Amino acid sequence: MNNHKANNAENEIENEQLEIARNEDVEFSESLADAADLEAAERAQAADERQENA
Residue 53 has pLDDT above 80, yes or no: yes
- Which DSSP string do the residues of 2-53 spell out, in sequence order? -HHHHHHHHHHHHHHHS----S------TTT--HHHHHHHHHHHHHHHHHHT
Residue 6 has pLDDT above 70, yes or no: no
Q: pTM of the full predicted structure? A: 0.49
Q: What is the pLDDT of residues 9-36, one digit of tens each?
A: 676 666 677 777 678 787 889 999 999 9
Residue 7 has pLDDT above 80, yes or no: no
